[in-house]
Amino acid sequence: MCGITGYIGEQQATPVLLEGLKKLEYRGYDSAGIALQTGQGVVVCKEKGRIADLTKMVDLNVQSTAGIGHTRWATHGVPDRKNSHPHQSQSGRFTLVHNGVIENYLQLQRDYLQEVEMISDTDTEVIVQLIEKLSSEEVSTEAAFRKALTLLHGSYAIAMLDEQDPDTLYIAKNRSPLLVGVGADCRVVASDAMAMLQVTDQFIELHDEEMVLLRKDEVKIFTLGGERMERALYTAQLDQSDLEKGTYPHYMLKEMDEQPTVIRKIVDAYSNESGKLSIDSKVLQAFKGADRLYIIAAGTSYHAGLIGKQYFEKFAGIPVEVHISSEFGYNMPLLSKKPLFLFITQSGETADSRQVLVKVKALGYPTVTLTNVQGSTLSRESDHTLLLHAGPEIAVASTKAYVAQVAVLAICAYACGESDLELKKELSIAANAIQTVLDSKEDVRKVVEETLTDTRNAFFIGRNLDFYVSLEGALKLKEISYIQAEGFAGGELKHGTIALIEEGTPVFALATQRDVSPNIRGNVKEVTARGAKTSIFSIEGIQEEGDRFVLPHVHELLTPLVAVIPFQLISYYAALQRECDVDQPRNLAKSVTVE
Ligand code: M6R
């Protein structure tokens, strides 16, 4: 949440900062700003709104080869100009952008800044005012910066300008992502490598509680204790074209369309030399050595985890618990003797999941992260990483990452057990089935026109695996169309929720599980009798007359891969119908780096 860019080099900084911020907009889009060293001082331009609004305001005549930029997801203070980053110290000497949350900012304000008049409502302003205050006591900006960092409790990625030292960017990181990039004639900093691919693919990872002095030809990394650190460069494995929408109107549509290819890529990536599905032998050992698997995840990744539980239990006989990461920390269950923690996270940056990782690592338990982003925080900090191979997912609504998570979970569970299933073949059938559903977009659009045009709420119901897909369908719909939606286990309706069914209430029912198909159809009858507008999504082999949409046949355990597709499309067309911002829905951000 929140994106940071910084540039110091030979070129004009403004276009690099703005281009970088555009790439980071997925991290937050409430307000944006840049600050530029001009030689005669620092110029700040910031405003509520998107990067496109900022770009219109920026004066391209300002000459500057060093600057910082920020795109915000508000935590402290409403999204307005006053709370937008960059923030400046009272005298204007220091200018700073920040991603994270400073937990003790009110205490710091009371202890050090009573005489300073705060302009914003943010925790960030306290950092920059504190640095100014300490700069009068310390021998250098470097020392004041370091001292201030040691006083902060919480998470931060920081980039700062000192008007009196135009040749340096001051950088720091703790529990919020930040990378330094090394270009031919510049040094850069960014929350995500994709922001700076425009100038370099060579990056340096920063660790928690480190600060950096960045000059156009130099990167000096220090611990907060002052020890100098050396670190090698790595090459970012990202393709610029993966980051573009191309001819698509929205990233979400592009990413949904990529799903068959993603499944095929995963099958390739997880096939060994003899063409059999397999996973890294160390990860395999970790799974096999566990007497219970604890899956930790949030949002869509949690929904994938629920499906993963069935795979590990059915294919490998490993008992599994699935936990919402934000809850796990307060209420850790009694653990088994040999637990293994599996973190599922598209971004690899989710703070809720990371706080669990930190806790269980401290207890000495083994950890695996299933992520789309190699080198992300959770990937670096866990013992093992399994990759999703889905390519960058930019739309806030997760689609191809979910399908990738389900597919990789199936492969891992399969690799841990001895099943007769020809999973490789079944996954390839599933990829084709996904393509068939994607080719029926117009039909799904009609479902939306028939059912969601005037509604204020909607229900998704299913049983067994279909229940988990219903949870995901409901999350997708509410997230991008703002229609209040709930996913329910069909059997639970009559225990309360059926009271909400009125004349015309849309109910989408999944019927892909043979054993429970009669039961879910019974639930559909119950809600139809009470006025609901019902649509059944069934699957070849168990379809019945009147079903609204029949999915191509796939193996029963792999139905979540295919059943989710019409629900993704429903949410997409519902969002379009309501003229919502599909890729950047209100109040959200792609990477949730605050707890
Ligand atoms: O990056 P992660 O998978 O850890 O993110 C978890 C959730 O924030 C994420 O899945 C969220 O629910 C999606 N935006 C839903 O589409």
Nearest-atom index, ligand 1, CA of 396: 14
Nearest-CA residue for ligand 1 atom 11 is 299
Which pLDDT belongs to residue 151? 98
Q: Which residue among 346, 393, 571, 583 has the greatest number of ligand 1 atoms within 8 angstroms of its CB, and so is best to mutate? A: 346
| Angstrom distance (rounded) from CA 400 to CA 126 | 40
* pLDDT tens sequence across 168-224: 999 999 988 999 999 999 999 999 999 999 999 999 999 999 999 999 999 999 999
Q: Which residue among 29, 255, 300 has the greatest number of ligand 1 atoms within 8 angstroms of its CB, and so is best to mutate? A: 300
| Angstrom distance (rounded) from CA 524 to CA 538 | 12
Q: How many CA atoms lie within 13 A of 41 on its CB side?
A: 6
Distance 405 CA to ligand 1 centre (A): 12
27: pLDDT strictly greater than 90: no
Which residues sit opposite 449 in a β-bridge?
none
Distance 494 CA to ligand 1 centre (A): 30
* pLDDT tens sequence across 529-561: 999 999 999 999 999 999 999 999 999 999 999
Query: Is any atom of ligand 1 closer than 6 Å to the C-beta of 212?
Result: no
Nearest-atom index, ligand 1, CA of 352: 4
- Dig out the tokens for 314 from the structure: 């059915």
One-letter identity of residue 495 = H
| Angstrom distance (rounded) from CA 214 to CA 206 | 13
Which pLDDT belongs to residue 244? 85
1: pLDDT strictly greater than 90: no
Nearest-CA residue for ligand 1 atom 4 is 345
Which pLDDT belongs to residue 529? 95
Chain centroid to Cα 198, Å, comes to 22
470: pLDDT strictly greater than 80: yes
pLDDT band of residue 589 (cuts 50, 70, 90) is: confident
Nearest-CA residue for ligand 1 atom 8 is 299
Active site residue 282: no
Nearest-CA residue for ligand 1 atom 10 is 300
Nearest-CA residue for ligand 1 atom 7 is 299
Distance 305 CA to ligand 1 centre (A): 12
Nearest-atom index, ligand 1, CA of 401: 3
Percentage of residues in the chain having pLDDT higher than 70: 100
pLDDT band of residue 369 (cuts 50, 70, 90) is: very high
Whole-model pTM: value is 0.87
Write down the mean pLDDT value for the chain: 95
pLDDT band of residue 54 (cuts 50, 70, 90) is: very high
If you compute the radius of gyration of the chain from its CA atoms, what whole number of angstroms results?
25
Nearest-CA residue for ligand 1 atom 2 is 345
Distance 300 CA to ligand 1 centre (A): 5
Distances (CA, A) of 193 to 69, 84, 339, 409: 15, 23, 34, 27
240: pLDDT strictly greater than 80: no
Query: Is any atom of ligand 1 closer than 6 Å to the C-beta of 300?
Result: yes
Nearest-atom index, ligand 1, CA of 298: 6
Active site residue 590: yes
| Angstrom distance (rounded) from CA 302 to CA 410 | 15
Query: Is any atom of ligand 1 closer than 6 Å to the C-beta of 592?
Result: yes
DSSP string, 267-279: HHHTB-TTS-B--
Q: What is the DSSP letter of 314?
A: I
Distance 302 CA to ligand 1 centre (A): 8
Residue bearing the bigger pLDDT, 480 or 239? 480
Contact 403, 427 (CB under 8 A): no
One-letter identity of residue 278 = S
Phi-psi domain of 24 (left: phi exceeds 0; alpha: psi -120 through 50; beta: other): alpha
Nearest-CA residue for ligand 1 atom 12 is 299
Q: Which residue among 591, 592, 595 has the greatest number of ligand 1 atoms within 8 angstroms of its CB, and so is best to mutate? A: 592
Q: Which residue among 347, 371, 479 has the greatest number of ligand 1 atoms within 8 angstroms of its CB, and so is best to mutate? A: 347
Query: Is any atom of ligand 1 closer than 6 Å to the C-beta of 470?
Result: no
Query: Is any atom of ligand 1 closer than 6 Å to the C-beta of 301?
Result: yes
The secondary structure element, H or E, covering residue 403 is helix 400-416
Distance 588 CA to ligand 1 centre (A): 10
Q: Which residue among 191, 295, 350 has the greatest number of ligand 1 atoms within 8 angstroms of its CB, and so is best to mutate? A: 350
Query: Is any atom of ligand 1 closer than 6 Å to the C-beta of 479?
Result: yes
**271-298 mean pLDDT:** 96
528: pLDDT strictly greater than 80: yes
595: pLDDT strictly greater than 80: no
568: pLDDT strictly greater than 90: yes
Query: Is any atom of ligand 1 closer than 6 Å to the C-beta of 299?
Result: yes
Residue bearing the bigger pLDDT, 238 or 266? 266
**126-150 mean pLDDT:** 96
Query: Is any atom of ligand 1 closer than 6 Å to the C-beta of 347?
Result: yes
Nearest-atom index, ligand 1, CA of 402: 10
Distance 492 CA to ligand 1 centre (A): 26
Query: Is any atom of ligand 1 closer than 6 Å to the C-beta of 399?
Result: no
* pLDDT tens sequence across 65-102: 999 999 998 888 888 889 999 999 999 999 999 999 99
